[in-house]
C-alpha cells in the first residue's frame, strides 16, 4: 500500500507560520475581553455588521464544508445547494420573528429569552440541551481537522486534534468574543482565497480547462441542482431543501447560542438583521464554489482514467497535497485549518457563555465581574477538553458534514418548537412546553437511531416505515413539540401565562 502524501518543506513552513500568526493575532484582544462579562462574550456590542456577517459565514462553513461538500459533488451533483435556498428563507423568518425579542434587553444568550417567557425550569432545560447538542456536533467538526492534518503532515488523529485545539483555546481563552469575530474575518478571507486558487488549479490540471470542466460535468449531470420530489426518504430535493433548510436555519441561527451570540454582538437590531441576511447570500455562493471544486475533481479523475482509492471526504485534501504547486498547497492547508479554528473558537465561547450565564449566574448573581471572567475562562478550558474527548468518538461513518448536521438536527427540532410556542402563542405554559420539547426530541432521536426502513404488520397488512432523510428532522421535531406542547398546556395549564 502506498504511503499517504505529505506536505513539502515550504508548505509545512507556511502552515506553521499561519498557525503562529493567527494565534498571536487573536491574543491582541486580551485587554478588550478583561473589562466585563459583556466584553468577554459580546465584545461590548461594538462590532460592525460586515464583520459579524463574515464571522457567521466562517462558523457555518467550517472544515466540514471545505472537505466534505466537494466530496458530495464528486459522488453526486449540486443537489446540496438546494439547502442554501432554504437557508436564505430561514434567515428572513429569523429577522422578523426572533431578533426583535433578542434585542429587548441586555441579553447574552438565546435561552434567557425562554426564561423570561416560560420560567427557570425550561430556561435550564433548553440551555442544557444546547450544551449537549453543540458538544456532540462540534466533536464531529473537531475530528474533521484530523482528516486534513493527517493527510497533509501524516500525524495521527490525537496529535492532529490536539495541535489545533490548544492553539485555538489559547486565543479564545484570552481574547473572548472579540478575538473570535476578528480572527473569523481573517480566516474566512484566507480560505475563500485558497479555495479560488484550488479551483483554478483543478482547471489547470484538466486538459480543456474551465470549458472542459463545465462541459464534461454538465454532460454527466454533475451540475444539476434542482430535484423536485416530495419523497421524505431523499435527502436533497427542492422541497426538502427549501422547507427543511428553512427550519434547519431557523433552529441553527435562531435558537443556537453559537450563532445567536454573534447576532447579539451587533450594535443594534438593524445591523444584526443586515449581518444575518448578508451572510445568507455569501454562504450560497460559497457552497456553489465548493461543489464546483468537487465536480472539477471528478472531471480530473475521469481524464486520469481511475478513481482515487479513498473516501470522498479525503479526495480534496489529497489533491491539495499531491497536485497543487509548492507554497500554494501550504496556503490551502492553512485555509482549511483557518475554517476549523474559527468554528472551534466560536463553539468554545458559546459553550462557556451558556454555562456561566444560564446556569451559574442565576444561582450566584452577586459575584464580581473579575470572578465572572475567571470562571468564563476556566469553563472555556473545560469545554475544550470535552470536545477533544468527543472528537475521538466521531471517527468513521458517512460524509462528516452530514453526520454533523444530522446530530444537531436531533435537538434543533425540539428547540425550535419551544421558541415558536413562546413567540406565536400565549396559551403555551412551561409544563406543557417541557412535555412538548421532550416529545420532539424523542421523535427526532428515534429518526436518528433508525438505521433503515422498518417493515411491520398491522392486522395482517404489511406496512413499511421509511428511513426519513435528516433534512426533514427539524421540521418534524418542531411540529411535534408545538402540537404536544400546546395540547399539554391546555390540559395542564400553568398559573401564569407570559408572552415574549
Q: What is the pLDDT of residues 115-141, one digit of tens each?
A: 888 988 999 999 998 888 888 777 777
Most confident range (mean pLDDT) of 155-169, 210-224, 227-241 is 210-224
**Per-residue confidence (pLDDT) for residue 158, from 0 to 100:** 72
pLDDT averaged over the chain?
A: 83
Q: What is the mean pLDDT of residues 156-178?
A: 78
Beta pairing partners, 464:
455
Is position 120 within any domain? yes
Q: Is residue 216 over pLDDT 80?
A: yes
| CA dist., res. 38 & res. 43, Å (int) | 7
Q: Which of 62-71, 247-256, 465-474 has the lowest mean pLDDT?
A: 62-71
Is position 442 within any domain? no
Q: Is residue 270 over pLDDT 70?
A: yes
- For residue 266, the enclosing domain spans 9-395
Is position 464 within any domain? no
Neighbouring C-beta atoms of residue 259, cutoff 10 Å: 24
Residue 75's domain is classified under what CATH number? 1.20.1730.10
| CA dist., res. 323 & res. 226, Å (int) | 32
Q: What is the mean pLDDT of residues 371-397?
A: 81
If pLDDT is split at 50, 70 and 90, which confidence band does 8 have? confident
Q: Is residue 473 over pLDDT 60?
A: yes
Q: What is the mean pLDDT of residues 370-374?
A: 86
Is position 294 within any domain? yes
Percent of the chain at pLDDT exceeding 90: 30
Burial class (CB in 10 A: 0-12, 13-18, 19+), 453: exposed
| CA dist., res. 376 & res. 117, Å (int) | 26
Unique residue bearing C-alpha cell 443586515: 274
Q: Is residue 352 over pLDDT 80?
A: yes
**Per-residue confidence (pLDDT) for residue 486, from 0 to 100:** 94
Cβ(460)–Cβ(471) under 8 Å? no
**Per-residue confidence (pLDDT) for residue 1, from 0 to 100:** 40
Is position 68 within any domain? yes
The residue ranking higher by pLDDT, 138 or 379, is 379
Residue-wise pLDDT tens digits, 386-435 = 888 877 766 554 444 445 555 667 788 999 999 999 988 888 999 999 99
If pLDDT is split at 50, 70 and 90, which confidence band does 365 have? confident
**Per-residue confidence (pLDDT) for residue 174, from 0 to 100:** 76
Q: What is the mean pLDDT of residues 26-51?
A: 80
Neighbouring C-beta atoms of residue 41, cutoff 10 Å: 28
Neighbouring C-beta atoms of residue 391, cutoff 10 Å: 26
Q: Is 483 left (phi over 0), alpha (psi -120 to 50) or beta?
A: alpha
**Per-residue confidence (pLDDT) for residue 94, from 0 to 100:** 95
Is position 486 within any domain? no
Residue-wise pLDDT tens digits, 440-470 = 999 988 888 776 655 545 555 655 567 788 8
pTM given for the model: 0.85
Percent of the chain at pLDDT exceeding 70: 86
Neighbouring C-beta atoms of residue 181, cutoff 10 Å: 27
Is position 381 within any domain? yes
Q: What is the mean pLDDT of residues 136-163?
A: 68
| Domain total in the chain | 1
Q: How many CA atoms lie within 13 A of 185 on its CB side?
A: 15
Is position 113 within any domain? yes
Q: What is the mean pLDDT of residues 93-106?
A: 89
Q: What is the mean pLDDT of residues 39-66?
A: 84
Amino acid at each position: 500500500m502506498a504511503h499517504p502524501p505529505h506536505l513539502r518543506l515550504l508548505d509545512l513552513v507556511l502552515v506553521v507560520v499561519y498557525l503562529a500568526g493567527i494565534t498571536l493575532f487573536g491574543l491582541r484582544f486580551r485587554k478588550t475581553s478583561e473589562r466585563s462579562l459583556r466584553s468577554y462574550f459580546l465584545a461590548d456590542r461594538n462590532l460592525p455588521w460586515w464583520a459579524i456577517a463574515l464571522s457567521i459565514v466562517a462558523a457555518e462553513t467550517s472544515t466540514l464544508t471545505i472537505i466534505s461538500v466537494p466530496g458530495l459533488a464528486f459522488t453526486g451533483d449540486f443537489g446540496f445547494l438546494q439547502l442554501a435556498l432554504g437557508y436564505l428563507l430561514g434567515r428572513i423568518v429569523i429577522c422578523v420573528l426572533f431578533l426583535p425579542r433578542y434585542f429587548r434587553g441586555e441579553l447574552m444568550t438565546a435561552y434567557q429569552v425562554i426564561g423570561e417567557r416560560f420560567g427557570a425550569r425550561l430556561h435550564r432545560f433548553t440551555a442544557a440541551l444546547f450544551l449537549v447538542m453543540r458538544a456532540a456536533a462540534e466533536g464531529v467538526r473537531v475530528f474533521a481537522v484530523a482528516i486534513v492534518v493527517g493527510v497533509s503532515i501524516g500525524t495521527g488523529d490525537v496529535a492532529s486534534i490536539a495541535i489545533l485545539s490548544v492553539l485555538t483555546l489559547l486565543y479564545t481563552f484570552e481574547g473572548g468574543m472579540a478575538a473570535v469575530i476578528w480572527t473569523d474575518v481573517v480566516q474566512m478571507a484566507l480560505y475563500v482565497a485558497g479555495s479560488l486558487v484550488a479551483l483554478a488549479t483543478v482547471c489547470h490540471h484538466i486538459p480543456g480547462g474551465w470549458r472542459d470542466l463545465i462541459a464534461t460535468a454538465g454532460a454527466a449531470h454533475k451540475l444539476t441542482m434542482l430535484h423536485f420530489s416530495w419523497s421524505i426518504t431523499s435527502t436533497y430535493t427542492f422541497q426538502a431543501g427549501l422547507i427543511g433548510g428553512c427550519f434547519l436555519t431557523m433552529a441553527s441561527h435562531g435558537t443556537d447560542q453559537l450563532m445567536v451570540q454573534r447576532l447579539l454582538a451587533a450594535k443594534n437590531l438593524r445591523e444584526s438583521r443586515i449581518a444575518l441576511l448578508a451572510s445568507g447570500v455569501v454562504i450560497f455562493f460559497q457552497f456553489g464554489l465548493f461543489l464546483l471544486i468537487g465536480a472539477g475533481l471528478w472531471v480530473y479523475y475521469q481524464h486520469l482514467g481511475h478513481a482515487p482509492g479513498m473516501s470522498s471526504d479525503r479526495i480534496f485534501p489529497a489533491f491539495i497535497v499531491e497536485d497543487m504547486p509548492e507554497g500554494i498547497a501550504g496556503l490551502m492547508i492553512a485555509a482549511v485549518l483557518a475554517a476549523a479554528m474559527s468554528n472551534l473558537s466560536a463553539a468554545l465561547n458559546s459553550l462557556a457563555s451558556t454555562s456561566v450565564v444560564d446556569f451559574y449566574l442565576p444561582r450566584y448573581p452577586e459575584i464580581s465581574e473579575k470572578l465572572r471572567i475567571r470562571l468564563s475562562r476556566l469553563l472555556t478550558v473545560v469545554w475544550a477538553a470535552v470536545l477533544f474527548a468527543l472528537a475521538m468518538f466521531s471517527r468513521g461513518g458517512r460524509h462528516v458534514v452530514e453526520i454533523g448536521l444530522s446530530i444537531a438536527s436531533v435537538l434543533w427540532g425540539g428547540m425550535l418548537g419551544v421558541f415558536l410556542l413562546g413567540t406565536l402563542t400565549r396559551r403555551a405554559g412551561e409544563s406543557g412546553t417541557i412535555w412538548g420539547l421532550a416529545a420532539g426530541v424523542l421523535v427526532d432521536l428515534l429518526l436518528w437511531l433508525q438505521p433503515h426502513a422498518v417493515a411491520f404488520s398491522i392486522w395482517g397488512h404489511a406496512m413499511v416505515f421509511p428511513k426519513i432523510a435528516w433534512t426533514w428532522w427539524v421540521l418534524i421535531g418542531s411540529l411535534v413539540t408545538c402540537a404536544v406542547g400546546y395540547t399539554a398546556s391546555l390540559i395542564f395549564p400553568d398559573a401564569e401565562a407570559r408572552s415574549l
